[in-house]
Each structure stands twice: as C-alpha cells, then as structure tokens.
Amino acid sequence: MTAAAPFGGRTALVTGAGRGIGRALAGQLAGLGARVVVTARSKAQLEGTAEMVGDADTVVLPADLSTTDGVAAVLDGLPSGGIDILVNNAATVAPLGPYGTVDLAAYRAQFDLNVFAVVALSFALAPAMAERGWGRILDVSSGVVGHPAGMIGGNAYVATKAALEGHAVNLAAELDGTGVTVNVYRPGTVDTEMQGWIRDQDPDRIGHALHARFIDYRNSGALITPEASAGYVLPLLQGDDTGRVWSYGA
C-alpha cells in the first residue's frame, strides 16, 4: 500500500454494484488500488461497472442476494486470497405503501436482501479478515433511521435499515481489537434509479406525502451524485474507526 493507493493489494467485494452508489464505490475503490469483485442481479449492469472500472482483474458475479442460493453463489465465486473489504450496498426500497396494504411476503423479502444477505456475507467473510489482522466492512444504510417518522409508507425500508445499523454496531464491538472495522454509512439523498422508481409510483398506492417528498428532492436540487457520496465515505474507510454511523457531509 502507498499513499496514492491506500487499498493496494486488497480485494473488495461490493454488492449492488450494477449502478448508483455501488457502481461509484466500486470505481473509486479500484482507483484507490483495490481489486474489485462486483455483484448484483443484472449481469449487463455489472459488465458496465467492470468496463467503467477498467481493470481486467475485476470479477463479475451476477446473483440475487435475496436468496440463500444467491449468497452461496457469490461466496463460491470469490477469487482466491480472500476478501479484505466488504461493502454491503445491495438493497431494495419495495414494498411501499400505508400499513395494512403492504404484502407481508414482500416485507419479508426486503429483510432477506437488506438485512440477512448482509449478515450472511459478513459472518462468512469476517473470520478470515480477523485471522489476517485487517478488514473493512461498510454497511450502506439510510438517513431515515435517524428520522423514521419522515418516511411514512416506507415501514419495511425503515425497519430493515434500523436492523442493519444495530447489526453493524454490535458486530463492530465483537470484532474490536481484531483489525477488522465495521461501520455504517448514511449516504445522503443520492440521485439513483431507486429515487426515480419511487417518483414513478402511483401516489394513490404508496401515499401522496411520500410520493411528493421524492418529487421535491428532484425539483429542489437536493440530490447529490453517487460519485460525491462515494467520495465522502472512502477516506473514512481507510482509518481505524469502528462502530461508527457516518452520514454524508456530517
């Protein structure tokens, strides 16, 4: 490792890396010297990420992390030498809607992706990190955890992100002293396809207040780029802080 390449010699796994924040994080990790492994549902999007990264050693692993088989496929496809940096970014915001209208199977499926996939990958990869005496786990959360009443109609999303943060801070305490850090990142209001998807939903189904809020994010100019959000957190990831909840711009 050098000052110019602080993650030189490290291998990073980034989930949800086909677009948005995940793609930006993968590209910037590569720019900091890391070999990057990217996973998401869409092979085409991942190939776009690999092309953007521009490193022939980039590993593309299409998988649905909301399933046990998908998590297993990613773990089985990892390159030899292990993972040093795990960025748990994959998530879904669906289902949205007032309580009582949300399909409980979809609610459970959101936990499968937003929480259980994070737990499964972290538990699988952290022991080897601890044995090597160095590792970084970053769990991408949301500012809604700090203001849960502000996303009425997004109960599943708020609940999954709150669970994610509790998991991360507790795991950080368990791994304290091993050289493995675990931190949470609330990435700000980022201009992503998820934002666009919410704007495209029927206000009568998801709730007019929730829909209007996301329209206002766009119209007010409040949205930041994925690259700006990624660029904020990666310098923090280079340090030894653990158990922190970082927020963009804070």
Measured N-to-C along each axis, helices 20-31 and 226-237 cross at an angle, to the nearest 10 degrees, of 50
Q: Largest Cα–Cα distance of the chain, in whole Å?
A: 54
| 186-203: average pLDDT | 92
Average pLDDT over residues 195-206: 92
Listing from the earlier edge strand, what are the strands of the sheet with 11-15?
59-62, 35-40, 11-15, 85-88, 135-140, 180-186, 245-247
Give catalytic status of residue 43 as yes or no. Answer: no
Position 55 confidence tier, pLDDT thresholds 50, 70, 90: confident
Given 99, 107, 157, 248, the catalytic residue: 157
State residue 75's pLDDT score. 98
Contact partners, residue 148, CB within 8 Å, separation at least 6: 158, 162
Catalytic-labelled residue, pool 43, 99, 161, 217 = 161
Task: State pLDDT tens for residues 204-242.
Answer: 999 998 998 899 989 999 999 999 999 999 999 999 999
Predicted local confidence at residue 189, as pLDDT: 94
Question: Which pLDDT value is given to residue 172?
Answer: 98
Q: How confident is the prediction for the chain on average, in pLDDT?
A: 95
- Residues 116-144 have a mean pLDDT of 98
Tell whether the model's pLDDT for residue 2 goes beyond 90.
no
Determine the pLDDT at residue 122.
Answer: 98
Phi, psi of 86 (to 5 degrees): -115, 120
Q: What is the pLDDT of residue 3?
A: 66
Contacts for 113 with CB less than 8 Å, ≥ 6 apart: 65, 66, 90, 91, 92
Which DSSP letter does residue 150 get? G
Tell me, what DSSP letter sits at residue 186? E
Report the phi/psi class of residue 96: left, alpha or beta, with left for phi > 0 and alpha for psi in -120 to 50. Answer: beta
Global model pTM greater than 0.75: yes
- Contact criterion met (CB below 8 Å) for 61 and 38: yes
Is there a contact between 7 and 38 (Cβ–Cβ < 8 Å)? no
Task: Write the CB contacts of 138 (distance below 8 Å, at least 6 apart in sequence).
Answer: 85, 86, 87, 88, 183, 184, 185, 233, 237
Per the annotation, the verdict on 232 as an active-site residue is no
Range 11-188+227-235 classified under CATH 3.10.105.10? no
As given in the structure block, the two tokens for residue 157 are 């999303």
Per-residue pLDDT tens over the stretch 71-110: 999 999 999 999 999 999 999 999 999 999 999 999 999 9
| Interval 100-115: pLDDT, tens | 999 999 999 999 999 9
Q: Is 70 exceeded by the pLDDT of residue 176?
A: yes
